[in-house]
Amino acid sequence: MSNASPTARIGHNGGPPLDAGRRWRAHCWQRAAKRAWSPPRPEVARLRMRQAAATGLSYRQHQAIVMQVGRSPQAVLFPLSGTLVRREAGEVWTDAAGGVELLPGVAAKLVAMTLPSVFVVSNQAAVAEGRLSAGQAHGYVRQVDACSNGRIDDYRLCLETRNSTSPQRLPRPGMVHDLLRHHGLPAAAAIMVGACSEEAACAAGAGLAEFIYSDSFFR
């Protein structure tokens, strides 16, 4: 005698029912994606291109973020060393007079970014280790700000040692959260542009809308 349930259908293993709405949701998503990437009217295309340029993004980067979170980025966060300025041996490179060297394309791109807030975050362990003064570390950001027509809206530095477990030290997201909280912005309203996988991990840990590698962003 069979022990199968009298209500079980042939081929049914008694498990939970299949998600009957999955196909419909997939259909709706595919249709929405097709509409989002379909050629818009000329005036709409021009508006989207202006919005993308004002945030420093390509048209496709901007549209992908808008599709994901429903709006243009309101803030872009940049790690300092290796993304905005030249880095050597893991630290900001300076000339004999203490001047930093902006990486190619950085100044022009920051000036062109008229729409979002521009924030900078940076680990400066050399301060805690006695090789750099706090004034010099803050001066690095001020130099970038001066070279970009005052485009940096705010910044945070972590002056802890390299082995610090502070939540403020990158790749932990403490500095990012502090900036966004101070300016009343949700994480989904911000993106990060960085140069390495640790910075990508910071963006993910902070819940940001997107991470973009700097070589793509500044090219």
Q: How far apart are alpha carbons 25 and 109 in whole angstroms?
A: 39
pTM (global) more than 0.85? no
Read off the amino acid at residue 106. Answer: V
Domains, the chain, with CATH or none: 71-217 (3.40.50.1000)
In degrees, to the nearest 5, what angle opens at C-alpha 80 toward C-alphas 207 and 147? 125
Reading the block at residue 51, the tokens are: 């919005």
Q: According to the model, what pLDDT value does residue 9 have? A: 53
Q: Where are the beta strands (DSSP E) in the chain?
A: 75-79, 87-88, 91-92, 117-123, 154-158, 190-194, 210-213
How large is the angle between the packed helices 59-69 and 22-37, nearest 10 degrees?
A: 150
Q: How far apart are alpha carbons 189 and 75 in whole angstroms?
A: 7
Q: What is the pLDDT along the chain (219 residues), one digit of tens a residue?
A: 444 445 545 555 665 555 666 777 777 667 666 666 666 788 888 888 999 999 999 998 998 898 888 889 999 999 999 999 999 998 999 999 999 999 999 999 999 999 999 999 999 999 999 999 999 999 999 999 999 999 999 999 999 999 999 999 999 999 999 999 999 999 999 999 999 999 999 999 999 999 999 999 998
Phi/psi of residue 58, nearest 5 degrees = -75, 165
Question: CB within 8 A of 168, min separation 6: which ones?
Answer: 156, 158, 160, 174, 175, 178
Pairing of strands 210-213, 117-123: unpaired
Read off the amino acid at residue 112. Answer: A
Q: According to the model, what pLDDT value does residue 134 have? A: 97
Three-state DSSP at 189 gives: helix
Q: According to the model, what pLDDT value does residue 123 have? A: 98
Q: According to the model, what pLDDT value does residue 1 have? A: 47
Three-state DSSP at 205 gives: helix
Q: According to the model, what pLDDT value does residue 219 have? A: 86
